[in-house]
Structures are given as C-alpha cells and as structure tokens.
Structure 1
Amino acid sequence: MTTSNLNLLTSPAQIGTLSLKNHMVMAPLTRSRAGEGDAPTPTVVEYYRQRAGAGLIITEGSQVSAQGKGYMRTPGIFTTEQIEGWKQVTDAVHAEGGRIFLQLWHVGRLSHPLVQLNNELPVAPSAIKADGEIYTPEGLKPYELPRALNLDEIPGVVADFRQGAENAKRAGFDGVEIHGANGYLIDQFLRDGTNTRTDSYGGSAENRTRFLKEVVESVIEVFGASRVGVRLSPIFNYFSMSDSDPQATFNCAAKMLSRYGLAYIHVVELGAGPFDFKDLKRCFGGSYIANGGYDAERAEKALNSGDADLVSFGTAFLANPDLVERFQRGVALNEADPATFYQGEERGYTDYPTLAQSR
C-alpha cells in the first residue's frame, strides 16, 4: 500500500477525551524486562519512548497486586517503586508527544505457588486447572489446580483494580485499559468453561459479567469513563479457555459496557470458531479497537468500512519503533525475533533499528 492510500490510519484520531496523532495503537505486549521488585527500569523507559509515535500506547499487562502476578519479571502497579518506575515511562512518552494507557492485570489461575506470596495457590472463579506449563524460578512447571475465590474475597480483588488505577494516575498515565482478555482472571469469570460458580458471579451470562462490571465501575471512579478501556478476546482458546456460546456471552458483556461511555473496547479477533465481531461492535456502540494480525492495508480497509475505529499492532510495533513512519512511507518492516520476545534485555527490545539508523 502506498503512502497516499493510508489516509485514515495515519491521520489524527479521537478516543474518549483524548486527541491522538493517528489511528495506530501499540498493543500491550508482555516483554519480561522488569527489574528488581517488578519495577520498570531505564531500559523499559527507552523502549516505550522509542514507540511514542503511536497514536496510543497500551503498556504490557501490569499486575494490580502480588496475587495478580503470573510470570517472572512482569511489572506491577502496586508498590512505590513500581509507580516511580512507570512515572519515568510516562514522562518520556509525553516528552515525545505520545499518549499512554496502563493495562491493569490479574492473571487468576495462570500463575504458580512459586511466584505467589507464601507459596499460596493461584485464585480463580472456580477450581479448574489450565492445561500446560508456566515458567517459574525453578523452571517450567505444570499449572496447578487454583483455589476458587470465596464470595467475600471478590470485593478485595475489585479494590485492587481500583488501587491500580489510582496508582496509574499517580504515575502520570493518560488512562487505563482493564485486561479482560487472553484467559486471565476477568476472562475466567466471563466464560462458562472456567466459571462454574452457582452464586451471583456464575451461571447466566449476566452473572458472569458481574465481576467485570464491578471492576469497570471501580476504575471509572478514578479516571472517568472516557479514560478507561476494556480488552476482550471472545474466541481466544489458549490456556484451555472455552465458552458454550461466546457470541451470547460477549454480546452481553458489550451491552453491559455500553452503558458507561468508556473510551473503547479493544478486541482480540484471533482464536477458534465463528464469531460476528461486527455484531459485538454494534452491541457496544462506542469506539472499537481491532487487534489480530492486521497489516497496513487491512487496517485501512477496516477503518474505511467502519469495522474498526482504531487498529492495534503488536509484533509490528515491537520490531519497528518507527512503525508509523514506515507505514507512511510504504517501506519494508524489520522482522521480529521471537527468541528475544521474553528475554535478551536490550537485544530484541531497544535495539531494533529505525529507518534513520538503517541508512
């Protein structure tokens, strides 16, 4: 696609109350580069600064509590050191004229006692184990059977999301994205394959959306609805995730979310089985960020057709800090190195060359 064909993708956009430089969003990408105490380091600061050309950056998932942690060296947003580390990131991005949201994260069952405080079991809506293995301080280990959250514990987890939002505001973020996707805790509550509760958080689709509803309400009290987004992944099927009727479940969630005037929903369109994403967008009624293997041409078509209001790019932004310029000029992209996605420090992180550096 030539530069002249990218009229919408690289043109200014509006999302909530924010004016953006373009319609390109940097998707959240776990990179496992956090330092001591799971706080962002100067290298993390440089990584995000390099990518400030995006209309909006959504950070990697950041656990809202020690209980919410699943993977080694992922950043948090619940200690003073973590807040201070993120403040360096937001200052750097804002100095480059960028906008940045923090993704609020709780992994639920996708953790292990070896990364939990006091070797406690991970928590989940129901005691259902995920298939597969997870990296721990002692190497790869199978996921363990999680402990189902007691009814009286759930308000405390909701409060952790609210505190995470308050901490993100202290760190200077423009807003937050609630991670309701990819098999993590909120997604576990949404789907009947992982939620077999018989109380007010289980059973019907309306009940299964209750936890997300309470998290959203707590977070918008901090930032205001126009600075809060939600990520969903209706047909994501890794980590043993399933639902008997994903269209009904996620349409129900979208209709619930439509009542709040949120900045957007951010939808991962990858996975198994048929799904009508246009219908999901209609049920929500607000701004829709599409995600899932988009290139420049497909993104421009989605914007022009109204199938998306913005488009997010993951691996492309990882390997191309100047992705916007590359799309504008219609030039080749750097190839990403999967071997460095979660390890390598600066290598495969801050050393991908820009066009200017490649000359």
Structure 2
Amino acid sequence: MLHGLAAATAALVLTALLAALVRTLMLRFGRARRGDTTPHLGGIAVALATLGVACAGPLLGVAELGPGVAPLLAAAGAVALLGLIGDLRPLGVRVRLVAEAAAATAVVALAGLSPGAGALAVLWIVFVTNAFQLLDNSDGAMGAVAAVTALGLAVCAIAEGRPGHGLLLSVLAAALTGFLLHNWHPARIHLGDCGALFTGFLLAASAVTVHAGEPGERTTAELFMLTLVVLTDTLLVLVSRRRAGRPLTRGGGDHIAHRLRGLGLTIQGSAVVLGVVSLAGTLIGLQVHDGRVAPVAVLPLALVVPVAVVLLLRVPVYGPAARRRTPHARTPQESATASVDLAGGRG
C-alpha cells in the first residue's frame, strides 16, 4: 500500500510539473492549432508520467508489474504516440481506427478470450477509446470522469488479485488529477489526442484484461456502469448530429457538457456534474463486481441513457437558438476548436 501511495503521489506531482513545462514550451515555440490559444499537447505529461512511474517500480526493485501489464503499457504507449502524431498532423479516421484496433488485438490476444469474445472486446476497446477522446471537449470534464473510472477499475483489479493492474490504474488516476490542476477552468492546457486516446485505451484495455475471467452478464453490467458517462455522451452526439444532418465526424459544441451549460450550469459545474454521475455509476459497478447487486438490477438503470439523451436533445446547440439561449456558454478557446473534426482530435 505504501508503494502504491508513493507511486500515485509521484505520478500526480510529475504530471503537474510536466504539464507546466509542456505548456511553457508550446507557448514559446508554437501556438495551439487552428487559432486556439491553449496548447493541446498536455497528454504528453499524462502519458509520460503514467508510463514512467509504472515502469519505475520494477526498475527500482520496489514493485512488480505483474502478468499482462507490460504488453498493456506497450500498447497504450503506441496509442499515445498515434495521438501525438494526430496532434501534430491530423490523421484520417480510418488510420486511427486501424491502429487502435491493432493495439487492442494485441492486448486481447493475451487475455485468453475466445475468438468471438475477443472480437467483441476489440470493438469495445476501440469504441470506448474514442468515446473518451470525444469527451475531451470542455475544461476538466474528461479528466474528472476518467480519474473516477480509473479508481473504480483499480479497485476491481485489486479485488481480482491483479495488483499490477491496480497499481497502474491508480497511477493513471493520480496523473489525471495532477493534470486537472492545469485543465480545470479556465484551462491552461488541454489533453489533446495524445492524452485522450492514451487514457481511453488504457482504461478500456485494462477493463477487458481485469474482467477476462468473469461471467459475461456481470462483466457487461459492470462495464456499462463504469463507462456510463462516455457512452451516453457518444450516443447523444451521434444522434444529435444525425438528426441535424451534420457529418458524424465533424466536431461541435453538442456534447453533454455544452448542453448542461445551456441549462444554466457553469463550465466548472458541468465538469462536477459529469464527475459525480461517473462516481455514482462507478460505485454501482463496484457493487455489481462485489456481488451485492445482481447484473439484472442494472437493466432499469440502462433506461437512464436513452431518457437522458432524449431530454438533452431538447437543449439547442446549433444555430441562432443556441447562441440566444447560451450567450456565455463558449469560451474563445472553444469557439476556435468547435469546428475541428474528429480526425483532427477535438470532439
């Protein structure tokens, strides 16, 4: 436990320092992309701190990664590099999806799943990875949700006798917390594709690995609750853009955080609400994991997602109606990034 606490503390401090350094370098040598004055390479700090602290334990002889953690770190590092390339020079959606699927396949192949379950796991990992990337659209929102999810998965990993995965996820949660010191509104730096894809992939792939030996119905119910916010946000965006006749891969201010602000919440308040909902979902997921809540009991809660989507669709986010209703909802930085498409990284 002491080693875990020390690792988490180191990750938090290291991320905060690296994020400040990256921001200083970006402001000195290059501006944020497409007119945004806030740098988008903060994910470098999260990825480096998480990978560095996780690998430091075995190198220093104070902690072991455990079986399956090293390949997971390698795959997550590859996805982080993919995201970094996308931050510097936007990649096509197909290129990203193929690369993410390859990394997910490598992780799933070592998890011991059957071919059918493995194929579904790969699709789920890719979907959740990009769902977290899409959530990186409002100051503090993605970091808060991901940190809570990482802590929940860490508890699951430790309960399943996977201390290495538990340590890794705890380190990730601490790194995201350190990053939030710079990403809380008004954000001084954003995660960008590097950090968002790295975080989403590491969470999704860890979830598959940790739950590989569990019954299917329990795993499904648990993972649904752990990813409740990102799944709802992605569904909301896809339905909203489809109804509005907008390209599905074209970014915009149509996520949950933007709609909450349309209802009168502040940017900070929207991030807090998303974090609290994620915490509630995580706690229920942990109850399912512990056997205190039956998987079938989650079915009524699943109805919350379509109901929430229907209600949030009523909040105007496109055109003059949205501007009249929420004149304060978008910062100058968001105005500059709202038109960036999915291939460019901003959801």
Structure having greater relative contact order (Cα 8 Å, sep ≥ 6):
2
Q: Does TM-score exceed 0.5, indicating one fold?
A: no
- The structure with the greater share of residues assigned to helix is 2
TM value normalised by structure 2:
0.30
